[in-house]
Amino acid sequence: MTEQNTELVQGTLDLLILKALALGPRHGLGIARRIEQVTRGTFQVKPGSLFPALHRMEEEGWLSSSWGESENNRRAKFYQLTRAGRRQLGSETQRWARVSAAIARVLAVS
């Protein structure tokens, strides 16, 4: 696998996870693969940062979790967005749009 590792900008991981769950519940590996897939491998999320983020977001009340069966019939913990999580996704998206627009402008000027 081609390693094209890009350091995640602080706070981006939350947004990526929220977004990855927007379409429905996924387990840990599913979330990681989904993020890899949509960023075309730019972001590879290691379990060492994925799980802490998931648990933190669950404590914040953005995610809820339940045990289920994976595609290969393995027991896995599935995460899904709560109402608060959806709201968080909305506000994070807006914030990100503002920040990236601003940075784009800065880069354009110089």
Partner 1 sequence: MRWLNRVRSFFRGLVHRGADERELDAEVRGYAEMLADEKGKQGMSGQEARRAARVEMGGIEQVKEEVRSVRAGVWLETLWQDLRFGARMLRKNPGFTAIAILTLALGLTVNATIFVFINDLFLRPLPATDPGRLVVIAQKIPQSEMMFPFSYQDFLDFQRWAEGDGHEVPEMAKTFSGVMAYMETPAHLSLSGEATERTYVHMVSGNYFTVLGAQPMLGRLFLPNEGRTVGADPIIVLTYDTWRSRFAADPRIIGQTVKLNGLPLTVVGVTQPNFVGASWGTALSGFVPATMLPQMIPDRAYLISDRGDTAFFMMGRLQSGASLEQARAAAAIVMARLLKDYAGMHPLHAEAVVLRESMSRPSPFVANYTPLIAFVLMGMALLVLGITVANVTNLLYARAADREREVAIRGALGATRWRLLRQLLAESTLLALAAGVIGAMAAVNLSPILSKVIAPGDMAPPSDTGTDWRLFVFTFVASLVTGILAGLLPALKATRIDVLPLLKNAPANAGNRHRLRSLLVIGQVAISCVVLICAGLALRSVQKLSQVNLGFRTDNLLLASVDLRLQRYSSDRGRRFQEQLLEKVRALPGVRNASLADSVPFDTGKGMRAGIWPEGQTPTESQKFMNVACFAVDHSFLQTLGTRIVEGRDFNERDDASAPRVVIINRALAEQLWPNDDPVGKRLTLQRDHLQVVGEIGDLRYWAMTDTNRPLLFYPLAQNYEGNVTIVARTGMDPAQLTLSVQQAVAQLNPDLPLYNIRTMDQQIAGSPMAMAPMRFGAVIAGTQGAIALFLATLGLYGLISHSVKRRTHEIGIRMALGAKPGNVLRVLIVQGLRPVLIGLGLGLVAAFAVTRMLSGMLYGVQPTDLLTFAGVSLLLAGVAVFASYIPARRATKVDPMVALRHE
- Please, which residue, 55 or 95, has the CB nearer to partner 1? 55
Q: Shortest gap between Cβ of 68 and partner 1 (angstroms)?
A: 11
Amino acid at 57: M
Q: Per-residue string for binding with partner 1, 75-104, x by CB under 8 A?
A: xxx----xxx--x-----------------
Is 3 a residue that touches partner 1 (CB under 8 A)? no
- Residues 36, 59: Cα–Cα separation, whole Å: 25
Secondary structure (3-state) at 9: coil
Residues 23, 48, 107, 110: which binds partner 1 (CB under 8 A)?
Answer: 48
Taking CA atoms, 61 is separated from 25, 56, 83, 100, 109, in Å, by: 15, 9, 9, 27, 40
